[in-house]
Amino acid sequence: MTRYIAGVFLAFCFMAAFSHAQAAADLNVNTPAVAAVKAAMQARHAQLSAYYQSGAVGLTVEGFVAVKDASLVPLSQRGALAGLVNDENTDRTHLYQGIAAANGHPEWEGEIQRIFALRWIDKAQSGWFVQREGQWSRK
């Protein structure tokens, strides 16, 4: 019962944080920095989507991507896979920072990151792996 109450309480906190930032932050703000990061991420997506589909890479609850099962990728391509994941996460960090900075509130970064994490998971295609409560599940 206490776990249930704690869960409901957490959900409320989450919704409050979500609706607050939604109301306050412009998530579609476009500065040259944000546009450059978005363009780089878009270009990378073509390479990453095959890995999402195969389950080698999944979306984490923190708004990043992670290698979920490297064994699906031949050894000769593991270096490239690690590089892609690393670059994507660097860009995602820059994206969250950039949007927060463009809104004039660098301290919103964490909140913006949480909202994006939900968005990415929501937008994930069926068959992709997403992380929920520390566990990977197929969407």
Closest approach, Cβ 82 to another protein, in A, equals 6
**Residue 40: which of 97, 75, 109, 90 has the closest Cα?**
90
CB 47 within 8 A of CB 84: yes
The H or E element that residue 54 is part of is helix 32-54
Is position 71 an interface residue for another protein (rule: CB under 8 A)? yes
Q: Please, which residue, 58 or 114, has the CB nearer to another protein?
A: 58
> Per CB under 8 A, does 134 bind another protein?
no
- Build a one-symbol-per-residue string for 73-102: x at contacts with another protein by CB under 8 A, - elsewhere: x-xx-xxx-xx---x------x--------
Residues touching another protein: how many (CB under 8 A)?
A: 19
Query: Structure tokens of 109?
Result: 């970064």
Give min distance, CB of 135 to another protein, in A.
15
By CB under 8 A, tell whether 62 contacts another protein.
no
CB atoms < 10 A from the CB of 117, how many? Answer: 20
The answer to whether 112 and 99 are in contact (CB under 8 A) is yes
Using the rule CB under 8 A, is 67 a contact of another protein? yes
H helix runs in 58-129, sequence order: 78-102, 109-123
Residue 71 vs 125, nearer CB to another protein:
71
Closer by beta carbon to another protein, 1 or else 75: 75
SS3 content of the chain, % helix, strand, coil (to 5): 70, 10, 20
- Contact set with another protein (CB under 8 A): 32-33, 35-37, 67, 69-71, 73, 75-76, 78-80, 82-83, 87, 94
